[in-house]
Amino acid sequence: MADEVLIKVDNVSKKFCRDLKRSLWYGVQDIMSEATARKYDHELREDEFWSVNDVSFELRRGECLGLIGPNGAGKSTLLKILNGLIKPDRGRIELRGRISALIELSAGFNPILTGRENIYGRGAVLGFTSAEIDKKLDAIIDFSELEEFIDTPVVNYSSGMKVRLGFAVASQMEPDVLLLDEVLAVGDVGFRAKCFNSIYKMMENAAVVLVSHSMPQINRVCSDILVMNHGQPVFQGKDVPKGVDKFYSYFQGEEKGIVTGSGRAIIHDIELESNGEKGIQEINYLDELILHIHATIDPDIKYPSVGVTILGQELQNIVQSNSAYHGVEICNSGEEMEIILNLGRINLNPGKYSLALSIQSESVGEVLVKCYNYKSFRIIGNFFGYAFVQIPGDWEIK
Task: Report which of residues 62 and 192 the model is more confident about.
Answer: 62
- Confidence class of residue 387 from pLDDT cuts 50, 70 and 90? very low
Please report the domains of the chain, with CATH numbers, ordered by start residue.
5-248 (3.40.50.300), 258-397 (2.70.50.60)
Model pLDDT, residue 389: 46
Task: Report which of residues 192 and 239 the model is more confident about.
Answer: 239
User: Is it the case that residue 337 has pLDDT exceeding 80?
Assistant: yes
How buried is residue 285: exposed, middle or buried, by Cβ count under 10 Å (0-12/13-18/19+)? middle
Q: Which pLDDT tens digit goes with each residue over 258-317?
A: 788 888 999 999 999 999 999 999 999 889 999 999 999 999 898 899 999 998 887 788
Name the pTM for this structure: 0.72
DSSP string, 14-81: EEEESSHHHHHHHHHHHHHHHHTTPPPP-S--TTEEEEEEEEEEEEETT-EEEEE-STTSSHHHHHHH
DSSP string, 186-201: SS-HHHHHHHHHHHHH
Residue 127 vs residues 99, 142, 374: alpha-carbon distances, Å: 9, 22, 56
Percentage above 70 pLDDT, the chain: 90
* Structural contact between residues 365 and 311, judged by C-beta atoms closer than 8 angstroms: no
Model pLDDT, residue 105: 52
- Confidence class of residue 122 from pLDDT cuts 50, 70 and 90? confident
